[in-house]
Structure 1
Amino acid sequence: MSSGPLILERFLPYRLSIVTNRISGALSRHYATRFGIGIPEWRVIANLGRHPGLTANEVAERSAMDKVTVSRAVAALERKGLLARVRDAEDRRKSRLDLSPRGQEVYAEIAPLALGFERDLLTALTPEEYAQLDRIIDKLNAKMDGYGGERP
């Protein structure tokens, strides 16, 4: 934490972005060629695999992806037959999203792959370091929640 010049390579937001991009990219190589889906599509599938019936806006909120990216991912998954839209019974303007049977199969194949990738990645940390990292991530997320979408 410095008040001196911005040194990008030491700037926390930049460093976090780099590591998450590298991790997401490495994991996506496992499923991109096999299933023809990219990172945004996988994030939609992962969210719907755990929380069926979300709206596109709810997926955007849960995944911290912008609405346009989610909309494109949903459209691509629909074209590939991995996702189905169902009109919300209470609000016909909304669509609820669910994985199709094929989408559920893809989720069932990729989820263990992703968990295995995570297990392997975490071998770089001791259990204590992982617990500390988990707490730190929670603290940073709570701090960001406190900003309420406003710039600090």
Structure 2
Amino acid sequence: MIYGALEDLPRYRGFCRSLDVLIDWLAENDPASLDVGSHAILGDKVFANVMAPTTRPEEGAHYETHRRYHDLQIDVEGRESFKVSQGETTLVEPFNEADDFELVDAVNGIAGDLDKGRFAIFVANEPHMPTLEFPGDGAAPVKKICFKLIADEFFDE
């Protein structure tokens, strides 16, 4: 996981080719202006999934993983917490190749939040649990963007 202030994202130029594309796009575009839905930035290599969910309690939630994509997540309205697992996981829902998605459970995790212009990059194969209730807020609406960034090993496909 990479976690920080969105204004500092250019420090991570060179992490992967798709992140470099997104950094350039963000320099010229306001992500908060995107409507709910999917928006191509560079075809299926870099795109934005804009969602308007309600945050959820951690109880009953599972970690998700992706094999082809890194997720860079930001909140443009509201705020949320997230967790990243540490250690071993237990399969809950098998990998769905079409959706690049698998669900797992884990005993240990570390928490963070998306508030005040923060971002989190959950790297491919890193179990993460987004859209959790922010401490003290309870269930609350949030407008968030999950930028999908194809991993370098798949960039030229």
TM range (shorter): under 0.3
- What's the TM-score once normalised by structure 2's chain length? 0.23
Question: Which of the pair has the greater relative contact order for Cα pairs under 8 Å at 6+ separation?
Answer: 2
More strand by share: 2
